[in-house]
Amino acid sequence: MKARRCELSVPGSNMKMITKAAGLNVDEVLLDLEDSVAPEGRPEARQTIVRAARELDWQGKRLAWRINPVSSPYFYQDLIEVAEAAGDKLGAVIVPKVNRPEEAYTVAAILSAIETNKGFEQQIAIEVQIESAEGMNNVEKIAAVAPGRLEALIFGPGDYAASLGVPGLTIGGKVDGYPGHLWHYALSRIIVAARANGLEAIDGPYAAFKDPAGLEETTLQAKLLGCDGKWAIHPGQVEPIQQMFTPAQDELERAQRLVEAYRVSLAERKGAVRFEGEMIDAASVKMAERTLRRAGMNF
């Protein structure tokens, strides 16, 4: 599975922005049909997404599109029209505001029918957004739907804050007076559900795109909790996000030395062993291997 260090959201109605995104060094670009597109502009935006998927060069990055919620009147056409016309060029569909596992299952079933009827060689993955109290309450069940097709859980801090009644006006930002990481519980629960089902966990966006310090802080918090990546809503956010989720060279080199030291220990029929001022064991190796895996390295 290709890493999702950063997912850049681009309005599906804006071909100029889409063309610029195609030339960026970013792991995933998602062409949006939901919040960033006015309802009356969605029919045309679907065709813009199809044209962009078929005509632009997306080599080296995953291309996804975000539909409207399953409960909305736009859902069916967002999914069917785009998938049938360009599903062979799209790596994933992002389903927002998923509240119950049945919603993700519905999308998976429709995609299976489209892929069979159109003869697509590759299946379209699903990523779901957890954005409400109900969705969070069912996140473990949602994460277990469509194994092999569902690939990621994404936190939606804006709608989630509205659902819970959390004050504040900046999506993904702080709330004055709160003495810690506001989304610690929500992200932790999503990450646990994701890991239990072999999925990636992606943090939502930080809307203040002219605040690099705030972006760095929220990205670091997501990384330290165990997230695999984060959304971006502006091209200027892509590089700092991807850099944050890319292990540094000295970290990779230490991880390699740790793995090798433990291999030597096992070959000598030992267990825990001293390594650079600390004791390491099998759990240490799992941590090191995950670091190497983030960089796509063999071990």
CB 9 within 8 A of CB 232: yes
299: in domain? no
Predicted pLDDT at 49: 98
Q: Which of 211, 226, 244 is the last residue of a domain?
A: 244
**Same domain membership, residue 116 and residue 137:** yes
Residue range 135-191, pLDDT digits in tens: 999 999 999 999 999 999 999 999 999 999 999 889 999 888 899 899 999 999 999
The total number of structural domains that make up the chain: 2
* CATH classification of the domain holding 112: 3.20.20.60
1: in domain? no
**Same domain membership, residue 153 and residue 261:** no
Kindly state the average pLDDT of the residues 107-130.
Answer: 98
**Same domain membership, residue 271 and residue 157:** no
Distance CA 296, CA 299 (A): 10
Q: Which two tokens stand for residue 59?
A: 């080599």
Residue range 6-52, pLDDT digits in tens: 999 999 999 999 999 999 999 999 999 999 999 999 999 999 999 99
Residue range 49-65, pLDDT digits in tens: 999 999 999 999 999 99
**Same domain membership, residue 142 and residue 23:** yes
**Same domain membership, residue 209 and residue 273:** no
Q: Which of 227, 244, 261 is the last residue of a domain?
A: 244
**Same domain membership, residue 281 and residue 260:** yes
Residue 196 three-state SS: helix
200: in domain? yes
Instruction: Return mean pLDDT, the chain.
Output: 95
**Same domain membership, residue 155 and residue 19:** yes
**Same domain membership, residue 137 and residue 179:** yes
Predicted pLDDT at 9: 98
CB 9 within 8 A of CB 66: yes
**Same domain membership, residue 268 and residue 177:** no
Q: Which of 202, 228, 244 is the last residue of a domain?
A: 244
35: in domain? yes
Residue range 265-283, pLDDT digits in tens: 999 888 899 999 999 999 9
**Same domain membership, residue 259 and residue 236:** no
Residue range 206-224, pLDDT digits in tens: 999 999 999 999 999 999 9
Predicted pLDDT at 299: 58
Q: 109: Cβ–Cβ under 8 A, 6 or more apart, which residues?
A: none
Please check the confidence at residue 298 and state whether its pLDDT lies above 70. no
Cβ burial of 69 (10 Å; 0-12, 13-18, 19+) is middle
Cβ burial of 75 (10 Å; 0-12, 13-18, 19+) is buried
Residue with tokens 């045309």: 44
Query: Domain range for residue 273?
Result: 249-294
